[in-house]
Amino acid sequence: MGDFNMPARKIIIDTDPGQDDAVAILLALGSPKDIEILGITAVAGNVPLALTQKNARMVCELAGRPDIKVYAGSKHPLAHRLVTAEHVHGKTGLDGPTLPDPTMPLQDQHAVDFIIETLRNHPAGTVTLCPLGPLTNIASAFNQAPDIIEKVQEIVLMGGAYFEVGNITPAAEFNIYVDPEAAEIVFKAGAPITVMPLDVTHKALVTKSRNDAFRDLGTPVGIAVAEMTDFFERFDKEKYGTAGAPLHDPTVIAYLLNPKLFTGRFINVEIETKSTLTRGMTVADWWRVTDREPNAMFMGDIDADGFFELLTNRLANL
Ligand code: RIB
Ligand code: CA
């Protein structure tokens, strides 16, 4: 957790809300001593861009933070048609709670230009990128302005899988599957990467008691998070037969707040972009059976009770 002497960590959240993205944004906003959100950049993913940028603003206003700058980014992946996930997140992408349409403005600047400008205007090693959706915006920024890559403090992303393999196909996790070319660019760029794969998020299940703890906060935020979970858990509980749905994206923010909640390995991770059968697979050399250069801290385990305690405590701040 934040050291009182340490300045808040500056981050850009790149996101495709998505109920779990929304909870990640709320966790960051509930941790102002530890995290300074320089901006939120929306990308097409769970639902089209017109909805992800709107949902991001609705979540900021739910948290009482209409001052947060939200930018719209890429409408579609680099090389494929957009694949969305309304079957999980509902047609709005934020089904569950009834939230008012946003009144805060969407920034005029394109998200990719904001990412480039922000990294150029901050000292090297002081801005962390937190992608929670397809990596289209990040890869586009790296393609347009390769000079910014060495400026990145760390990329902490939700995506991929090794032991859990796939959730949108038998081989691939959704964020990587939607834009595997973008993921390949990001994983080969050379910036420090920490990965929260399904191997971790499938151990972060929102059981009834954990969701009741959100609801029992009795605040608009706590009740809305519980209602989001009530909606999106129906699909995953049916699919996996588990006691709750995996809460994917907040693990990225929790890592920034308390990395000790996670364990993993620094290994080589490469992205399948050629095969139609296994497109988007993260080929993670977990057992180090190749001599491929390690390029990512790939997480494998989580202290789930510690994660939900942190999350609930921080949501209580909103
Ligand atoms: O596979 C899970 C990921 O895909 C999460 O980020 C979820 O929000 C969707 O974007
Ligand atoms: Ca997401």
Write the pLDDT tens digit of every residue in 194-237: 999 999 999 999 999 999 999 999 999 999 999 999 999 888 88
Q: Which residues surround ligand 2, an ion (CB under 5 A)?
A: 16, 18, 21, 132-133, 249
Question: Minimal CA–CA distance to 193: which of 249, 162, 148, 149?
Answer: 149
Determine the pLDDT at residue 4.
59
Q: Residue 81: exposed, middle, or buried by beta-carbon count in 10 A (0-12, 13-18, 19+)? A: exposed
Q: Is the pLDDT of residue 1 over 90?
A: no
SS3 47: coil
Q: In sequence order, what are the residues at sequence separation of 6 or more whose Cβ sits closer than 8 angstroms to the Cβ of residue 165?
A: 171, 198, 281
Determine the pLDDT at residue 236.
87
Alpha helices in 216-249 (DSSP H): 220-240
CA of 3 to the centre of ligand 1 (A): 30
Cβ(292)–Cβ(270) below 8 Å: yes
Residue 269, strand partner residues: 284
Q: Is 248 a catalytic residue?
A: yes
Which CATH architecture group holds 9-315? Alpha-Beta Complex (3.90)
Pairing of strands 245-246, 269-271: unpaired
CA distance readout (Å), 140 to 98, 108, 152: 34, 18, 15
Q: Is the CB of 21 under 6 A from ligand 1?
A: yes
**Amino acid (one-letter) located at 301:** D
Cβ(115)–Cβ(41) below 8 Å: yes
Q: pLDDT tier at 239 (50, 70, 90 boundaries)? A: confident
Determine the pLDDT at residue 5.
76
Ligand 1: nearest atom to the Cα of 20: 8
Q: What is the pTM of this model?
A: 0.97
